[in-house]
A and B are shown apart, each in its own frame.
Chain A
């Protein structure tokens, strides 16, 4: 499994590539946490486009990262899942804590839109 990060403002995009199982999940969660801490990321986008295998270990990775960023009041978005990965995530109720998006671009748009709205609100208050 390969992992690649992209940053835009306080959004961290996690591009996963390969097979996400228990073996790789240990390294993956450490890498993500380290990167969140280093770059003070608030929001997280998981891109599963290049993940061709995932078992329930992936659920643990997502839930753990949700716990981390929800403390920072950040949002968790998921994109690029195959039908079968979606099934596993749905089984565990992941979409009650994360938002399913069509693309990385849509995800960024969604977070930024939310921020502008919140910003406008606090200005009015």
Chain B
């Protein structure tokens, strides 16, 4: 991997690890929002990133760990050059058999639970790029990238 090259342009980064409990969904999105606040994002950009983080973390808790609270969810956030924000949500849960199908709007593996099946669609439309890597039995890694608009007044 080109880790050395990547490190060259990382400006700031953080990593959070927390139990797969639903009350941590709020914690995760607020933490990411606070971390990127120094970039002075617009309210819209901030809301979109918070929503995408919330979707990815909820997926980890509901689907990856099947609401078993003993799992751990990792959220990484990297601020790269040119106001590029990279958020990665990682779990060691059950994994996704068919990522392409899971990403389809309205698809849900739990139709009886009032799940909307819109999680990945929301992430997709609120972020500039979405990458999902998953191995059944090992876990899932959701990487989301957003390029913030240039700040005014600088």
Contacts and interface: CB of A to CB of B under 8 A. Distances in A.
A27 to B, nearest CB: 10
B47 A91 contact: no
A63 B26 contact: no
B37 to A, nearest CB: 16
Contacts of B25: 21-23
Interface string A84-100: 10001001100000000
Contacts of A57: 58, 116
A33 to B, nearest CB: 11
B51 A88 contact: yes
> Is chain A's binding surface mostly helix, strand, loop or mixed?
helix
A98 to B, nearest CB: 14
Q: State which size class the interface on A falls in.
A: 20 to 34
Nearest to B43: A84
Contact of B50 (A26, A53, A59, A63): A53
A60 interface: yes
A118 B58 CA distance: 43
B13 interface: no
A22 B114 contact: no
A54 B47 CA distance: 9
Interface string B107-128: 0000001111011011001000
Nearest to A62: B116
B55 A56 contact: yes
Interface string A46-61: 0000000111110111
Interface of B: 22-23, 25-26, 29, 44, 47-48, 50-51, 54-55, 58, 61-62, 105-106, 113-116, 118-119, 121-122, 125
15 contacts: A21-B25, A21-B26, A21-B54, A26-B22, A53-B51, A55-B51, A55-B58, A56-B122, A60-B115, A61-B114, A84-B47, A84-B48, A91-B122, A92-B105, A92-B106
